[in-house]
Homo-oligomer: A and B are copies of this chain.
Amino acid sequence: MVAAGPEALADSLIAGDRRALARAITLIESTKAEDRARAEALVERLAPRAGSALRIAISGAPGVGKSTFIEAFGLHAVSQGRRVAVLAVDPSSPRSGGALLGDKTRMVELARTEGAFIRPSPSRGTLGGVHRRTRESILACEAAGFDLILVETVGVGQSETEAAGMVDAFLLLLAPGAGDELQGLKRGIVELADVVAVNKDDGELAAAARRMQSEYRAALHLLRPMHAEWQVPVLRCSALERKGIDSVWSATLRHCAAMEASGAFAARRAGQSKDWLWSELREGLVERFLADSRLKSRLARAEAKVAEGAIAPTAAARDLLAGFGKIGRGS
């Protein structure tokens, strides 16, 4: 599917070729075994060029106006001289694994803007899916010269915690809706946020947005440690009317500046790299384990027995690991 060698691809990408960047991300996201080695060679060549961008996760439940916000936010950043790459995580069709057609019409104005790059990718679930590779896509965008990376997440499931582990700032988008509650949002997500913005502060919803803002201000004031270096701001904006976007942008920059001043920024980055290494190691070990078809069927039986309480998980794990050792040595 990707014809050029990883070195040539890397060089075109670094030279600023957008199609090379798009192809690089396709290679990075590929789940084919033969693509993985080439993707790793690519990332290895890109890594020394990466690391200087600001990485921001933008999270919010469906219906809060996330696409409209990202477009407005991205356009504002471009107007401030930033080069913006958006890694949009789109709901995938379970059948094809591909992005929905509708997504291609999102963020049209930003997509047309010089200095912006949008990459919609299907969200393939947690394990081994896009999120494991999103870190590599971030590096690719940075090597291509983008200095602001926006990582969109869908506000549900495990993805939020993973996204928070890849970025310098986590922006949570809310909107007044049917009720004043966070329908379907994952437990703990509000507490991940570095900046909270209540969107849809316009028209009939403006009063509800103001109410929501003050409620969340009170809630977050309670939830956050007293001596933290950063008090999470709860702002209002209207992505539709492009109102208040500048204050969300400057709050995000202030957060990053505060982190840098305290040394937390560099520490967070170093910790993230180490966590990434460990997650690759753990997943690699599990992959080796699962690569043996005999162990795979034994694992399924062990899982069922453990769930029904017929065997203790420790004993089941020990037996499975003993089998792994024998097979590993035997091969």
Contacts and interface: CB of A to CB of B under 8 A. Distances in A.
28 contacts: A44-B311, A47-B315, A48-B309, A51-B309, A136-B314, A181-B221, A181-B225, A181-B226, A183-B227, A187-B188, A187-B192, A187-B223, A215-B218, A218-B218, A218-B219, A219-B223, A270-B307, A277-B316, A280-B313, A280-B317, A281-B286, A281-B320, A281-B321, A282-B286, A284-B318, A285-B289, A328-B329, A329-B329
A54 interface: no
A146 to B, nearest CB: 17
A316 B329 CA distance: 24
Nearest to A41: B315
Work out how many copies of this chain go into the complex.
Answer: 2
A109 interface: no
A241 interface: no
Contact of A302 (B277, B302, B324): B277
A62 B191 CA distance: 21
Interface string A234-245: 000000000000
Given A274-B306, A284-B318, A329-B331, 6 more contacts: A43-B315, A47-B309, A47-B311, A184-B225, A219-B223, A273-B309
Nearest to A311: B47
A139 B315 CA distance: 13
Contact of A318 (B40, B136, B187, B225): B40
A282 B280 contact: no
Shortest 7 CB-CB distances between A and B: which pairs? A280-B317, A188-B188, A219-B219, A276-B313, A47-B312, A277-B313, A285-B285
A179 interface: yes
